[in-house]
């Protein structure tokens, strides 16, 4: 049986102002019976048309591009079914074999990791181009805030720093058994490693983040919303945390406004996801 997983994790990432308002999208509802947007296609409430806003321009800035990574899990292995860009109510498949996208907040560009290297997508012109000359199978990608350098995670779970416009890569030896990567606004590198646990890479090597549940599953890591100046965003199960470069962490508590906005966003996202789901699948 084919299980379709539209993973909302890193994927509904937005450019421009949206970064400053929206929280990283993941299932952080306290009511687990409600939405589970990690696997929205397995949520039958999503097709309740009366719960779908017919107009979500109030929720999504229409000129903002959001990216949706569509994948299918076959025999425990995640395979790409394409990255889509959603803008002005339109959905466009931009790259077929990609699982990773990293928008660049200050420019209308996003980097995409693909089976055959790195691509760059211009959200204004909607053009996609190969970036640099690397040919790695890239499953995770993050762009530094203060430079044009990138970090990539390759299919063999190795992290590289990519410099010189995508023509040079250096292995990050400190990061091992890496599943996912993220940077914070200060360009510290974090990753999810063994046992689904997050680590931070420091000048004295990788450090395990303290103060988190052990053996957690369904973990997610990303750059935090812009209002969180230091540290990265980490989620396990339904709880969000800010994790710091000194290897500490603290739970993030949503206020009522954030909860409300999140619910509205989830509903709007479900509408978009149902459009993705209606795209033909080979
Ligand atoms: C949704 O997922 C859960 C857990 O994997 C499973 O038990 C349930 O049958 C699924 N529901 C549908 C409608 O696929
Ligand atoms: C569908 O939406 C209506 C109105 O919001 C709500 O009353 C109803 O319970 C929903 N049904 C499901 C199955 O979610
Ligand atoms: C929800 O989806 C199911 C299965 O596709 C369908 O039978 C049902 O009529 C749908 N409900 C609504 C309110 O669209
Ligand atoms: C959608 O909602 C926004 C504000 O909520 C409103 O300004 C806009 O006119 C609405 N658009 C349509 C097409 O109804
Ligand atoms: C990429 O280009 C750089 C500079 O032109 C060159 O030094 C490097 O060997 C190339 N790498 C590959 C993998 O082709
Ligand atoms: C990103 O880098 C710029 C340039 O150094 C800096 O001014 C800005 O504060 C950084 N952004 C955040 C959110 O820290
Ligand atoms: C976590 O997992 C490890 C290895 O699977 C196991 O030895 C350990 O007992 C687990 N710890 C808890 C608290 O479940
Ligand atoms: C670690 O960093 C955080 C955020 O900067 C700070 O609040 C905390 O006190 C630091 N903890 C230690 C033990 O240095």
Task: Give the residue, by CA position, lying nearest to ligand 4 atom 14.
Answer: 55
Q: Determine how many CB atoms are found less than 10 A away from the CB of residue 128.
A: 17
| Angle (CA) 258 261 266, round 5° | 120
Give the whole-angstrom CA distance, residue 257 versus residue 33. 20
Q: Which of 111, 103, 127, 117 is nearest to 167 (CA)?
A: 117
Cβ neighbors of 94 (< 8 A, separation 6 or more) are 82, 83, 84, 85, 112, 121, 126, 128
CA distances from 33 to 36, 91, 219, 258, 275 (A): 8, 29, 19, 19, 23
For the CA of 134, the nearest atom of ligand 5: 13
pLDDT, one tens digit per residue, over 76-118 is: 677 777 888 888 778 888 998 888 888 776 678 899 999 999 9
244 in contact with ligand 8, CB cutoff 6 A: yes
Pairing outcome for strands 98-104 and 239-243 = unpaired
| Average pLDDT value for residue range 162-189 | 96
45 in contact with ligand 3, CB cutoff 6 A: no
pLDDT, one tens digit per residue, over 37-57 is: 322 222 333 333 332 333 444
Give the whole-angstrom CA distance, residue 96 versus residue 100. 11
The DSSP symbol for 148 reads S
d(CA 32, ligand 2 centre) in Å? 16
d(CA 132, ligand 5 centre) in Å? 8
211 in contact with ligand 8, CB cutoff 6 A: no
Q: Can you list the domains of the chain with their CATH numbers?
A: 2-278 (2.120.10)
Give the whole-angstrom CA distance, residue 182 versus residue 101. 11
List 162's β-bridge partners, or say none.
Answer: 150, 169
Instruction: Give residue 88's pLDDT.
Output: 79
230 in contact with ligand 8, CB cutoff 6 A: yes
Comparing 58 with 121, the larger pLDDT belongs to 121
> Among all chains, which residue has been given the structure tokens 């049986």?
1
Q: Is the pTM of this model over 0.85?
A: no
Question: Is pLDDT of 244 > 90?
Answer: yes
The answer to whether 65 and 79 are in contact (CB under 8 A) is: no
Question: Is pLDDT of 31 > 60?
Answer: no
| Angle (CA) 59 36 274, round 5° | 60
Task: Give the residue, by CA position, lying nearest to ligand 7 atom 9.
Answer: 215
| Best mutation site among 55, 261, 271 for ligand 4 pocket (most ligand atoms within 8 Å of CB) | 55
Indicate if the alpha-carbon torsion angle 184, 186, 192, 197 is positive or negative.
negative
Comparing 156 with 59, the larger pLDDT belongs to 156
> What is the arrangement of strands in the sheet containing 77-87, beginning at the earlier edge strand?
3-6, 66-74, 77-87, 90-95
Question: Is pLDDT of 58 > 50?
Answer: no
Indicate if the alpha-carbon torsion angle 48, 72, 103, 247 is positive or negative.
positive
Indicate if the alpha-carbon torsion angle 209, 212, 214, 217 is positive or negative.
negative
pLDDT, one tens digit per residue, over 61-72 is: 566 787 877 777
Question: Is pLDDT of 21 > 70?
Answer: no
């Amino acid at each position: 049986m084919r299980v379709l997983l539209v993973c909302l994790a890193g994927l509904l990432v937005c450019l421009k102002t949206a970064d400053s308002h929206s929280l990283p999208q993941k299932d952080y509802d306290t009511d687990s019976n409600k939405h589970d947007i990690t696997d929205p296609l397995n949520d039958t409430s999503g097709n309740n048309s009366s719960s779908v806003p017919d107009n979500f321009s109030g929720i999504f800035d229409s000129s903002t591009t959001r990216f949706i990574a569509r994948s299918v899990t076959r025999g425990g292995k995640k395979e790409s079914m394409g990255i889509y860009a959603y803008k002005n109510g339109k959905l466009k498949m931009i790259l077929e074999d990609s699982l990773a996208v990293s928008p660049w907040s200050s420019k209308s560009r996003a980097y995409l990791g693909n089976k055959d290297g790195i691509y760059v997508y211009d959200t204004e012109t909607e053009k996609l181009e190969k970036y640099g000359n690397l040919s790695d199978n890239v499953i995770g990608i993050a762009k530094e805030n203060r430079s044009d350098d990138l970090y990539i995670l390759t299919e063999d779970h190795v992290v590289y720093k990519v410099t010189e416009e995508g023509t040079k890569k250096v292995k990050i030896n400190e990061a091992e058994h890496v599943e996912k990567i993220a940077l914070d606004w200060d360009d510290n590198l974090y990753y999810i490693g063994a046992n689904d646990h997050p680590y931070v890479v420091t000048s004295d090597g990788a450090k395990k983040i303290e103060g988190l549940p052990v053996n957690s599953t369904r973990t997610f890591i990303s750059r935090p919303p812009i209002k969180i100046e230091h540290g990265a965003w980490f989620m396990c199960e339904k709880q969000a945390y800010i994790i710091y470069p000194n290897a500490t962490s603290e739970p993030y508590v949503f206020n009522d406004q954030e909860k409300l906005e999140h619910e509205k966003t989830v509903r709007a996202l479900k509408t978009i996801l149902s459009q993705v789901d209606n795209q033909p699948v080979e």
